[in-house]
A = this chain, B = another copy of it.
Amino acid sequence: MTMKKTLRLDEAAAMAGGQLRGDGAITVSGFAAIDAAGPSDMTFLARAKDRHLLASCRAACVLVPPGVGEAPLPVIEVADPYLGVAILHTYLLAQPFVTTGVHKTAFIGKDCSIPEEVSIGPNVVLGDRVRLGARTRLDAGVVLGDDVTLGDDCWMKANVTIAHATLIGNRVIVDSGTVIGSDGFGYTPDNTGRFHKRPQVGIVRIEDEVEIGACCCVDRATFGETVISHGVKIDNLVQIAHNVVIGANSILTAQVAIAGSASLGRNVIMGGASKSKGHIHIGDRVQVAAASGIHNSVPAGATVAGVPAIDARKWLKTSAIYQRLPEMYSELKKLRAEVAALKAASHTAPNPDGGDND
């Protein structure tokens, strides 16, 4: 039972912090891609150089970046159209929380604290002493272990598993198949080669406004806490090992892996499938190219690439030259031969200057 929201273009411009060129009284109720938007939709143009797309656009209004110039339809000029989409589309879609209560097939453990305003789906299982915040939504098949705490406005999607004692803040979204609080990976060999498990008795703590994608694993700490700080966004199939700390507003793209006890600063961006060694620190605002492997701590503000990761500009040059290795190798062999010939010639030749350079 969704309620269709509408927005006047002058309101939209104010919300997005942009400049409207067009009739502020026009209303929109949806968002769509530029080639699919209809007369009640808003859309966006990511790059000014694509302005030719405006000619055939049927939307009510287009969010445009600076530099588009005259447009054949109403536009709102904003510094970053993607940010405008995020703000306005989110506003149009937002709906009041719908409480469905606790489904009759859900199983609730002992001494749980569950507010009235929740939606707990079929086959959800809660352990003992679980505490849920207001407007929590747990979709079908979610399992929360003993002593798990969730804040307000959280959404655990179908088949998410949150192991015992995990602490989760407010407005946290976790996508399906993800496991939070799995055991850290800690084994020590004895002198027969047999590995002994080191107990993993710490927890995972996730702060407010974190989003975690599908099929991720966040391991509990050996002792203490594995921490995902405020505003961190994590894509799918990401591995966070025990005792890792991810700083606020960092981005971990799909298939990233952070090994044990590594720490990331604030606003770090890890590209897809990039990996970090354990026990190192990746400074604030570091950007890591996709498929990189970080072996050493990285200072704040750096941009790195490669395995092992180096300065990204250097890596770009280096990897371009990498392709010329075979040609460099044969060039080196030729030079070796030529230099040898030159040396031989200079040795066998009678000394032209008669020995007076001593």
Give the B-binding residues of A (Cβ under 8 A).
31-33, 36, 80, 82-83, 85-87, 89-90, 93, 103, 105, 107, 121-123, 125, 139-141, 143, 145, 157-159, 161, 163, 175-179, 182-183, 185-190, 193-199, 201, 211, 213-217, 219, 222-224, 231, 233, 235-237, 239, 241, 249, 251, 253-255, 257, 259, 266-267, 272-273, 275, 277, 290-291, 293, 307-308, 310, 314, 317-319, 321-326, 328-329, 331-332, 335-336, 338-339, 342-343, 345-346, 348-350, 352-353, 357
Known contacts A125-B123, A342-B339, A357-B348; is A199 also within 8 Å of B31 by CB?
A: yes
The 6 closest A-B pairs by CB, nearest first: A86-B196, A182-B214, A125-B140, A217-B236, A352-B352, A33-B223
Shortest A357–chain B CB gap in Å is 6
A107 to B224, CA, bound (A): 37
Known contacts A32-B223, A33-B224, A338-B339; is A195 also within 8 Å of B239 by CB?
A: no
Shortest A109–chain B CB gap in Å is 9
Partner of A86, one of B197, B318, B319, B352: B197
Q: Which residue of B lies closest to A311 (CB)?
A: B323
Shortest A168–chain B CB gap in Å is 16
Q: Which residues of B contact A189 (CB under 8 A)?
A: 83, 249, 267
Known contacts A213-B183, A215-B177, A342-B339; is A195 also within 8 Å of B353 by CB?
A: no
Shortest A329–chain B CB gap in Å is 5
Q: Which residues of B contact A325 (CB under 8 A)?
A: 317-318, 321-322, 325
A328 near B339 (CB under 8 angstroms)? no
B159 near A161 (CB under 8 angstroms)? yes
Partner of A198, one of B82, B183, B266, B321: B82
A273 to B189, CA, bound (A): 21
B331 near A233 (CB under 8 angstroms)? no
Known contacts A161-B159, A215-B179, A259-B290; is A322 also within 8 Å of B318 by CB?
A: yes
Partner of A179, one of B177, B319, B342: B177
Q: Which residue of B lies closest to A324 (CB)?
A: B329
Q: Which residues of B contact A219 (CB under 8 A)?
A: 214, 236
